[in-house]
Every structure is written in C-alpha cells, then in structure tokens.
Structure 1
Amino acid sequence: MATITLGGNPVNTNGELPKIGSKATDFSMIQTDLSTATLATFAGNRLVLNIFPSIDTGTCATSVRTFNEKASQLANTKVLCISRDLPFAQKRFCGAEGLENVINLSDFNTGSFGKNYGLEIVDGPLAGLHSRVVIVLDENGTILHTEQVSEIANEPNYEAALAVL
C-alpha cells in the first residue's frame, strides 16, 4: 500500500507500483469506440501509460494535453491515457480539445487495471478511482519507469518519463 495525498490529506492505494525491469501485467480496457484493447493490442510499441483519476479535472486534462503534444515527436511510441471515466467522456474531451496523439482507455467496468497495477485509491473522497501515475514500457512490455505522483493535484514529471525513451 502506498500513501499519497489529496489536498495535503493522506489517502492510500491498494498496493505498490510494478517494479522497474519487470514485465507489464496484461490488461483489458475499453477504447472510445467501445472496442476492447489489451496489452497485446499495442505489441511492438513503446508505451507511456498516463493514468489519472478523471479527465474532468484540471491536472488530468493538462497531462493529457501535454502528452498529446509530446507524443507526436516520439517514434514508435503510443500514449495511453487511462482512467475510470466512461469512454464517452474521454471521447468528448479529446474531440473538444482536438487531441489526436493519445489513446484513451477506460477501466470503468471493473477497475481491474487499477487493482492489478496497485494504484487504485482505497480511501478518501476519490476511493475507487486511479491515483495519478505514469508507467513507461519498452517494445517488449518491460517497465522502464514508474512515477506515482505524491499529491494527486500535481502534474507528473513529463521529462523524467520521456527521458527513458
């Protein structure tokens, strides 16, 4: 279990992030076209997993915009923006913002991604949502970088995440 903060108040997650050097755990989530995506869907690509509580908060929206901008400059790299928002909300946001370089994945139905990756918030007002995390994978699904943002309202360290690529 990890302790992070929301507005300076401690909240806990259900576990610890995967270890650098380990293989990413498979997942199954819903894309904005309502199809299912798994880790295998993105095989052979480097992945930036941009994980956050909700697309409808300022910091989450900023992280999606920032990674969208930077993703267009990265070869063989896909940015997956993951939350428990409904796919419709994710699609609405990206359409309104003109964001085309990120792929939204929704973990709304079971939250299994958040649980399996040890980043589900288990107490406080955001219980059940994902904490703000960035995980970077190489082409073979090996974890190169992880960051669990200590204060949910803060942005991740974009440069550190992208530097490993």
Structure 2
Amino acid sequence: MQKAAASFVIFALLGLGLGYLVFDVFSGKTTDTPESTAPTEQQEEASSEGDNAANSNPDSEGNKEAETVAAEGNILQTKGCLGCHSAASLDLKGGATGPDLSQAFNNVEGKHGKPLEEFLKEPTSAVMSGVISGNPLTDEEISQIAELLKQASEK
C-alpha cells in the first residue's frame, strides 16, 4: 500500500511538472518577454520597408512574394507555433516537438477529420486543444495561418 502511494505521488509530481513545462513552452511565454518581442518588431519594420521597395520596383515580383511569406510567417511566430513546429518549405525554423507544418494544409483533414480552419478553432488532438484553449485564435489569425500553410503545401 505504501509503495502504491509513493508511486502515485512521484507520478503526480512528474505529471504536474511536465504539464507546466509543456503549457509554458506551447504558449510561447518566456522570462525575457521584452527582448523576445523586439526581434519581431524589427522584422515587421524590415518587412514593411521591403514591401515599399518591392512596390516601387515592378521587376521585384519574386522578391515581393518571398517577403510576403516572411511577413506572414510572423503569425506563426507571434502565436507561438514556431515554439514547437517548423515549416521547412517556408524556411521557417522552429521547435522539433511538433510535426513540420509544410504539408499541414493537406494532411490535417485526413489525420483529424476536419479541415485546417475548423481544426484550429476546435482541435481534436489533446496537445493542440490544450494549446489553443490557452491561447485562442481569432478568425483573422486562422485565415492568415491557413493561407500561409496553403502556400507552404504548394512549394
């Protein structure tokens, strides 16, 4: 009886510790919040400057598309997706915990029984439902993510 109680306490503490770690990582929270947001703001400024330069030069059509992908990639960064996932086809490096999102637009429905947009509203996987419930996405954010992942699947 004492052995069972000790095992229960040990596993409960491990479960709580892992749960805390997982939700802290998935929510994208860090202890250096001011420093972690600064690169995003700089990237957005650089992207805006790049968009202005691309608009003034009609020959930069390819550069404009690449910059658009980089700018839209920020939604994955700002919502914490890149904490666990990457998107190799978009050259977005992130965590290795979750699967690569390059083919998510095509694969989510077959794997989870819902189109990507519905999955992002109400995930069917335990991990993603915990992540999304702690950091819900707006309809606009879901649209941005779906469009970006559609582009990723076409590359």
- Whose RCO is larger (CA < 8 A, sep 6+)? 1
TM-score interval w.r.t. the shorter chain?
A: under 0.3
Task: Give 1 or 2: higher strand fraction.
Answer: 1
The normalised TM-score by structure 1 is 0.26
Task: Give 1 or 2: higher helix fraction.
Answer: 2
